[in-house]
Amino acid sequence: MARHIDILENPETAIAEATTTLAEGLPIGLPTETVYGLAADATNPAAIARIYETKGRPRFNPLICHMSDLAMAERYAVFDPISRKLAEAFWPGPLTLVLPLRPESGIHPLATAGLDTVGIRVPQGFAGALIRAFDRPLAAPSANTSGKISATSADHVDDDLGERISLILDAGASVVGVESTIVKVEDGEIRLLRPGGLAASEIERVAGKALKRKKKASAAIEAPGMLASHYAPGAAVRLDATDISANEALIRFGTPDIAGIERAIAVLDLSPSGDLSEAAANLFDFMKRADASGAVTIAFSHIPDEGLGEAINDRLRRAAAPRE
Ligand code: AMP
Ligand code: MG
């Protein structure tokens, strides 16, 4: 088991222990509003290598580098006017901007997979304060074994990675519950690289223009969060279920009619009132619970593809994809 420090009860201890551990080049479990991150010093190659080792990630992929604020981000990346406008509107928050890296930025190529761009986000709350204290960017993918369900609580992190890391900061359940939305501005166009915890419509409202969405077929190349099979529970996953068979657990949204619901091993309600934010916050925890119920298959009722539903459905399609 890793050591847990509750950030509300002991914020000073949390900052002191976390900065010491990070300075030793070790990754920590870090709460953010999206999901829990496995965070390490983005300027230290040994520390970044330990992220990959801890997650059992097979390949080096670009990691999101977390900053304390826009001013810090500008030290590492070059902002075009649209990216700056989005940063001012949505940071701190669940938006990652892919930007040209400044030469000599100090971010190690292991964190960017050798690209000349860097994905940057300013997280809300404690993580931002920790980065300010550490004064170096933190590379942080989600704190889970590669390909598995993302962690949205300190206990999730401990169950999965507790044997491999020494410190987990505990801030309770992640309020957003899905990873950040990733965009990249190119030639004045805003490309949506990954739907996430900030609805695309919010970005379009601030930018005053529509996002360019990637064609599904080419998505796999650009991003690990875009591998076909990802977010996978042990059980199989079935989408748009309207009925339930033996040995299935049901995760439903709203109050749809589901035939044979009495057969379900477990029934979990993402949001009885049909609130997509509430559903996103519950998603990964409920997938883990349905998995633990012993169900052979987890059936999901239909979830609308609007607002945060776009991110939820993106994760569910990957969870349902054929496993490698
Ligand atoms: P994860 O490590 O699972 O949180 O995923 C991080 C996401 O950020 C992946 O989808 C990456 O491909 C994406 N990302 C980070 N940096 C870049 C970059 N420089 N260019 C494109 N995508 C990036
Ligand atoms: Mg992940």
pLDDT for 324: 64
pLDDT for 226: 55
Does residue 27 surpass a pLDDT of 80?
yes
Topology alike, domains 3-213 and 236-320: no
Q: For residue 60, which amino acid is it?
A: F
Does residue 218 surpass a pLDDT of 50?
no
Helix 11-23 with 126-134: angle, nearest 10 deg: 50
Nearest CA residue ID for atom 16, ligand 1: 119
* pLDDT tens per residue across span 43-69: 999 999 999 999 998 777 899 999 999
* pLDDT tens per residue across span 202-215: 999 999 999 999 76
This prediction's pTM: 0.92
Does residue 274 surpass a pLDDT of 70?
yes
Q: How many CB atoms lie within 10 A of CB 79?
A: 19
* pLDDT tens per residue across span 116-133: 999 999 999 999 999 999
Q: What is the CATH number of domain 236-320?
A: 3.40.50.11030
* pLDDT tens per residue across span 242-272: 999 999 999 999 989 999 999 999 999 999 9
pLDDT for 1: 79
How large a percentage of the chain has pLDDT more than 70? 95
Does residue 224 surpass a pLDDT of 90?
no
Atom from ligand 1 closest to the CA of residue 64: 15
Nearest CA residue ID for atom 5, ligand 1: 225
Q: What does the block give as tokens for 181? A: 């939305």
Does residue 300 surpass a pLDDT of 80?
yes
Query: Any idea which residue has 């695309």 for tokens?
Result: 200
Does residue 222 surpass a pLDDT of 90?
no
Instruction: Please state the domain extents for the chain.
Output: 3-213, 236-320
Which top CATH class is 3-213? Answer: alpha beta
pLDDT for 220: 42
Atom from ligand 1 closest to the CA of residue 119: 16
pLDDT for 294: 95
222 lines ligand 1 (CB under 6 A): yes
Tell me the C-alpha distance between 238 and 232, whole Å: 12
Does residue 303 surpass a pLDDT of 70?
yes
pLDDT for 273: 97
Nearest CA residue ID for atom 2, ligand 1: 141
314 lines ligand 1 (CB under 6 A): no
Tell me the C-alpha distance between 221 and 226, whole Å: 8
Distance of CA 172 to the CA centre of its chain: 16
Nearest CA residue ID for atom 11, ligand 1: 223
194 lines ligand 1 (CB under 6 A): yes
- Omega of the bond leading into 92 within 30 degrees of 0 (cis): yes
206 lines ligand 1 (CB under 6 A): no
Tell me the C-alpha distance between 164 and 28, whole Å: 10
At 193, which helix (H) or strand (E)?
strand 189-194
How large a percentage of the chain has pLDDT more than 90? 89
* pLDDT tens per residue across span 136-164: 999 999 999 998 999 999 999 999 999 99
CA dihedral 308, 314, 319, 323 (to 10 degrees): -170
Kindly calculate the radius of gyration of the chain based on its CA atoms and give it in whole angstroms: 19
Q: Which ligand is nearest to the CA of 194?
A: 1
112 lines ligand 1 (CB under 6 A): yes
